[in-house]
């Protein structure tokens, strides 16, 4: 492989999270599916925000969280995703740059405001997400810089991009550019409902164009329309080079054509907010992979990063992950 300037370039929706607490009755009352993501429009944002409790704002976005995590490990990362020229847009750009990520997508000067996700965290730490995609859907193929893609070992894409045609096109452009440059492509399926909305496209993509796939149990069973995790493992084996399947408190499983590697979960004393668990698992895994660690060690790095992020509110790491990994003997 030629010299690469970046370990990973991530492409995803650029979102500011608005995080509040609620009880299960609140979710029922407002017909919200616990643990899932749904898309809402501006009017629905106003309505839900109007009834939810006091909140905290933090930068988010699935691939953006992963990229922030990778940077916290000491990896070299870039991000492509669109905000608007507003206060939340400035917040998003600040936070991702402040952690050392190259982020140059110009903010949209007109159109919808920066994307927000109203995240409701129940007492069990589970999160229910309500996303207004706003300016993030204005990402087009024009923003996908071929030189940037060619300069990264892995291009990391979030499935959520499939929810709008322009972003989906940008996604495909990026995957093709990465392949053409001889780089690897990684995909996270994002959400089981998102998989339901785009099942055929995702299956084709995994079969043809993805080297590394990230999915949780609900997503991978939804992708192959099977009823058990074991069937899903069977279905995905060989479809891509590496499938990384996360199972919350049951740990994770790494599936290659030949091997199945079980990774025990990292114990967390107090689960505060599971938002970002999958994103940060991917960060640790990809950091390990770009640095030549064994797949088992990649999984352990992923588990460690996921454990950190679920122990506090918000989907970005609060502790420097490089130091944390060193203190646990996972890297030197």
Verify binding: residue 85, a second copy, rule CB under 8 A. no
Which residue in the set 68, 232, 244, 268 belongs to the binding site for a second copy (CB under 8 A)? Answer: 68
Q: Does 54 bind a second copy (CB under 8 A)?
A: yes
Q: By rule CB under 8 A, what count of residues binds a second copy?
A: 26
Position among 28, 56, 228, 327 found at the interface with a second copy (CB under 8 A): 56
- CB atoms near residue 132 (< 10 Å): 26
Residue 123 sits in the site that holds a second copy (CB under 8 A): no
Assess 94 for contact with a second copy (CB under 8 A): yes
Shortest Cβ distance from residue 96 to a second copy (Å)? 8
Closer to a second copy by Cβ: residue 116 or 245: 116
Q: Pick the stretch among 32-40, 55-63, 135-143, 251-259 that binds a second copy (CB under 8 A).
A: 55-63
- Residues 183-212 close enough to bind a second copy by CB under 8 A: none
Residue 50 sits in the site that holds a second copy (CB under 8 A): yes
Comparing CB distances to a second copy, the nearer of 97 and 199 is: 97
Tell me which residues touch a second copy (CB under 8 A).
Answer: 18, 20, 49-50, 52-59, 68, 86-88, 90-91, 94-95, 98-99, 113-114, 314, 316
């Amino acid at each position: 492989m030629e010299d690469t300037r970046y370990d990973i370039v991530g492409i995803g929706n650029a979102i500011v999270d608005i995080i509040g607490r609620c009880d299960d009755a609140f979710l029922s009352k407002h017909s919200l599916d616990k643990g899932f993501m749904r898309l809402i429009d501006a009017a629905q944002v106003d309505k839900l925000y109007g009834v939810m409790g006091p909140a905290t704002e933090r930068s988010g976005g699935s691939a953006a969280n992963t990229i922030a995590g990778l940077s916290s490990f000491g990896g070299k990362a870039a991000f492509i995703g669109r905000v608007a020229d507003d206060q939340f847009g400035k917040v998003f750009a600040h936070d991702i740059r402040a952690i050392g990520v190259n982020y140059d997508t110009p903010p949209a000067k007109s159109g919808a405001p920066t994307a927000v996700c109203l995240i409701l965290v129940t007492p069990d730490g589970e999160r229910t997400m309500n996303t207004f995609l706003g300016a993030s859907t204005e990402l087009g193929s024009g923003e996908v810089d071929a030189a940037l893609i060619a300069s990264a070992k892995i291009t990391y894409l979030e499935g959520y991009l499939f929810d709008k045609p322009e972003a989906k096109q940008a996604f495909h452009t990026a995957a093709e550019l990465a392949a053409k440059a001889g780089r690897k492509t990684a995909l996270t399926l994002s959400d089981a409902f998102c998989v339901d909305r785009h099942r055929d496209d995702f299956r084709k993509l995994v079969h043809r164009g993805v080297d590394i796939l990230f999915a949780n149990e609900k997503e991978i069973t939804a992708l192959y329309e099977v009823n058990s995790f074991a069937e899903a493992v069977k279905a995905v084996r060989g479809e891509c080079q590496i499938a990384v399947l996360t199972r919350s408190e049951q740990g994770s499983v790494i599936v290659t054509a030949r091997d199945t590697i079980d990774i025990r979960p990292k114990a967390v004393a107090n689960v505060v907010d599971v938002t970002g668990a999958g994103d940060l698992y991917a960060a640790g895994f990809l950091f390990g992979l770009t640095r030549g660690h064994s797949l088992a060690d990649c999984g352990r790095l992923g588990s460690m990063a996921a454990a950190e992020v679920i122990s506090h509110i918000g989907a970005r790491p609060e502790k420097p992950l490089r130091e944390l990994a060193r203190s646990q003997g996972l890297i030197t």
